[in-house]
Amino acid sequence: MRVLVTNDDGIHAKGIEVLAKSLGRIAEVTVVAPEIERSAVGHGITLNNPLRVDKVYKSQKFFGYAVNGTPADCVKISVGAIMEHKPDVVFSGINNGANTGTDAIYSGTVSAAIEGAMVDICSVAISVSRVGGSRFDYAGEYVLKLIETLAEKGFPKLLLNVNIPSIPADEIKGVRLTRQGRVRFRDYFDKRQDPSGRTYYWLTGELTDSEEGTDIDSTAVKEGYVSITPIHYDLTDEKLLEQLRDWNFEK
């Protein structure tokens, strides 16, 4: 089986190395990732600049291709130009930091997986929680179980957002199928001055409200479970669509 491995933390991040190494034990892995960290770039793509692809070696061995673009660019260029054959599955990660709740909207990790799904490839975003110190060991093992399940099912067209707690493997309680939780942040702009006296702002924020429940992604991770959320990128609000049929937009 052929696997495309990408991420948004950049080709030099630890998580992508763990992921590529682990999947490399059982699959033909091609690594294509941004040359630098591109976290929180969402689904941006590069249209007005050339994309350059450079070979990256780690310990004198070919590791993968670094692209001066976004995570979504990486999947596009892999399928469109780098890989000879379409991959059976796209794995994006292992991201340093959970992508639960609305984080998934901003996430380059999730967007790379979405890009895979958009060209009908079975796609998985995988992240580990920073709470507990970003442990990649269990996630690296778990991807082997996950890909086995996907292979058994024949790599169907699906899109999964997987989040893993950063706890020792023997403390993982199991796997929960979850939904994306509703989360609210209060944005706070730290106002500062640069050396020439010009004002600049730095976005920080705090979590003010996070939906809780056994079927919520962030709750599952907090309680020691691997969280698997099936997601889609069709943004249509079906319920509202029905309600709006009774409104008069013509007047």
Interface residues with Mn ion (CB under 5 A)? 8-9, 39, 95
User: Buried (b) or exposed (e) across 185-195, using 16+ Cβ within 10 A?
Assistant: beeeeeeeeee
Residue 94, preceding peptide bond in cis (omega within 30° of 0): yes
DSSP assignments along 167-216, one per residue: S-GGG--EEEE-BPPPEEEEEEEEEEE-TTS-EEEEEEEEEEEE---TTB
**Nearest distance, CB of residue 108 and Mn ion, angstroms:** 6
Q: Please say which residue, 72 or 155, places its beta carbon nearer to Mn ion.
A: 72
Q: Please say which residue, 15 or 87, places its beta carbon nearer to Mn ion.
A: 15
Q: Please say which residue, 113 or 155, places its beta carbon nearer to Mn ion.
A: 113
3 state DSSP class of 231: coil
- DSSP annotation of 126 reads E
Q: What gap in Å lies between CA 160 and CA 228, rounded to an integer?
A: 6
Q: Please say which residue, 15 or 181, places its beta carbon nearer to Mn ion.
A: 15
**Nearest distance, CB of residue 8 and Mn ion, angstroms:** 4
**Nearest distance, CB of residue 71 and Mn ion, angstroms:** 9
Q: Please say which residue, 88 or 161, places its beta carbon nearer to Mn ion.
A: 161
**Nearest distance, CB of residue 119 and Mn ion, angstroms:** 22
**Nearest distance, CB of residue 111 and Mn ion, angstroms:** 11
Q: What gap in Å lies between CA 113 and CA 126, rounded to an integer?
A: 9
For Mn ion, which residue has the nearest CB? 39
User: CA Rg, the chain, in Å?
Assistant: 19
